[in-house]
Structure 1
Amino acid sequence: MPLPRNAKVLSAKQPRASMVGHAAENEEENSHSKRFMSSPQGGPKKRSAFGDITNAHKNQVAAGKKEAVKVAPQKAQRTCVALGVAKNNEINLKKSMKKTPPGEASAEPKEDPAPEEPMIVELPAVEDVDKDQLVDPYNNSVYAKEIFEYMRGREEKFMLPNYMETQPDISRDMRAILVDWMVEVQQNFELNHETLYLSVKLVDHYLAEVETMRDKLQLIGSTAILIASKFEQERCPPCVDDFLYICDDAYKRDELLAMEASILSTLQFDINIPIAYRFLRRFARCARATIETLTLARFLCEMTLQEYDYARERPSKLAASCLLLALTMKNLGGWTPTLEYYSGYCAQDLHPLVRRLNFLLTYQPSDKLKAVRSKYSNGAFFEVAKVTPMDMLKLEEILKSC
């Protein structure tokens, strides 16, 4: 059917959204985060095939027409020259003339005093750390703030009790030895650090619910690493036979699979537990910290995995304290308004934990637990384990000045 002469053809095509932004959050540390320089396996290559598949930004299409502004017609003013109204006006005029002294001109109406200008309080500038981070669809920078607020809320659910009081056959030293062994397993299999932190959390939450004998402790640790490697989607996760091998065939395949089912059912399959490592990377981005400063903070944070006293700390607060101590050791300034905004902690909230961390770094409780220090003494991690700890009195002076 032919179109009318004056008909307008509407185009059905919409402009295509452009991808803008920056690289992913952990692009800077891929070569350092989980493998040594001598590792035969290279880092994972980025995939650009899915660069356009993202719903982070939607096209904003201007639709609709401007509504015409309707102006209501003004009503004609009525002039009522009533005798009573005129008489009242005359009486009011005479009264006003009596009040005015003779010989004085009528004073001009006083101008209203100028309103006082509001005081402008300059607040510290908070940097938007998520801007220009949208090029990688895997980065989720649009939702980063909401994601970490959600994880902060989940910390309440996963606060650990003092479960060592209810364990009849396990001590703190046994737990420390187990975690030290788990660090070695993470190194040997070149697993992500997230896998290590999550596996330690799984062990703690399982022991908080189930009384366990010491001969099953290594089985729980290896099974926790198996579960965490699946959850974190490791590129090359170890298989069941690998875990049986590293346990020196102390357990059977059926025992490991049964323990996996026991851990998952005990935790009701809710294993998305907040870990300090993720918060640490987020806060380091807010501080614009270098990879060397971040590695020092990671070393401090990983030292706490072996210590039972730190297991009941909030992961976000622990990560913030480790970063603050690393910044202080590097003489890079204190806790900025940007860090306070994104972390939710002010500097005074972190001071007690910073003191404890520096004490832990200065006086290692046991010489037998060397996995973490040996790991971070390697050149791939800038040998941050060899950094001299801060003097306690000097640290106290710096914290008081903050």
Structure 2
Amino acid sequence: MPRIRPAKALAATAAIALATAACTGTPDAPKASDDATKDTTIIFWYGWSAPSEVAAIEADVKAFEAAHPNIHVKAVGNINDDKIKQALRAGGPNAPDVVSSFSSANVGAFCKSNVLTDLKPFLDKSGIDLDKTFPKAIQDYTQYQGKRCTLPLLADTYGLHYNKDAFRAAGITAPPKTFSEFEAVAKKLTKPTADGYTQLGFMPNFHGYTSTLLLYGYQFGLKYFDDQGKANASRDPRFTQLFTTQKKLVDELGGYAKLEKYRTTFGDQYGAKNPLHTGQVAMSFDGEWRAGMAKEAGIKFDLGVAPMPVPDDQADTYGRGGLSGTIVGIASTSQKQNAAWELVKFITTDTDAVVNFANAIHNVPSTLDALKSPKFATDPAMSVFLDVAQNKDSISPPATPNGDAYLLTLQDVGYRYESGTIKDLPAALKKADEQIDKDIAQTR
């Protein structure tokens, strides 16, 4: 799980994707001619840095080396995307053979610029059937325009975390399934004071950690681009439905200014003082890792988890969500691509390897077999996320050659609309579409 806040994550991946997609002179991918049965050493870069995460990676690598005693792996952690981008462009003997990135938003840029090699020949050679191996949404976010230059290395999805004690005190017997139910529950759980709250049902503002456009968008089933690849926000009525639903909730829970003032009292998103942990909010959208963090923080209430709500006119999609996650690929400059493939294949498709890693870092397994494995340490909270990951209506954000830039543009509309700065939402969405199309055209 990337330990960065959503707004910062969007900005970082957009900038990196723009730089990667814009690079020229990338060398042609060398043919995979190395003998993977000979003694060799490959370099693997990854982003995890916490001691428990590093230990989990090292255990995965150790298991791989036991199964492939001739292939030695030099694993290097705490590598950010900017350094990966530079190394992929430069190549050389010290460059990585295998890289992983926390951001699936980078896939479009990585694939388009050919800095990661096409994995289809390797998949075909190994007889791996994607449809029998990975959920569809996970397949979607690891390819760009039919080119698969990455595979998934665990997944993230999101759900509604809620304070069961607060629910019982308010006489609420079940988590809300639709946004009209969610609005009613959020209002019932809110205890305002003159200048704040003793308890807020939900922080709806787009700056409220994971109450982002992206997460709301998963539930509304937004179609960001039409079939011709043109930005679609001004023509898909679900965008207007999302923004007006969110704005109504902001207004009914006290208004933008009051909510923003209250938000400044929140502790760190990934720390013990997260507002859900402290009881400042009674409900939160968050990832599969939240239950474990809440337990570590020593919360004094009973925490519940359920799928996030859906629009009332899409009630039959309840249980859906969004998926993204860590991606892994082979550097196109690597002279050891066959050996590198053996590592990529092992960590992404070996059921025990995927399950053990998911258990260690509390993420969602990324293969169908691992999702069903009896070795996966499920609990009632995690089972919700496993169901979301396999739900037929779950989606992933579309890949573009400039990463999450389109989300930044649309989220800016959200910031200004919820605050009351934007009065004409249709005009703002049309202008956003024009900007998104212009930004993508500049990367071609």
Higher percent of residues as strand = 2
Q: Could you state the TM-score of these two structures normalised by the residue count of structure 2?
A: 0.24
Q: Could you say which structure has the greater relative contact order, defined with CA pairs below 8 angstroms and 6 or more residues apart?
A: 2
Q: Could you state the TM-score of these two structures normalised by the residue count of structure 1?
A: 0.25
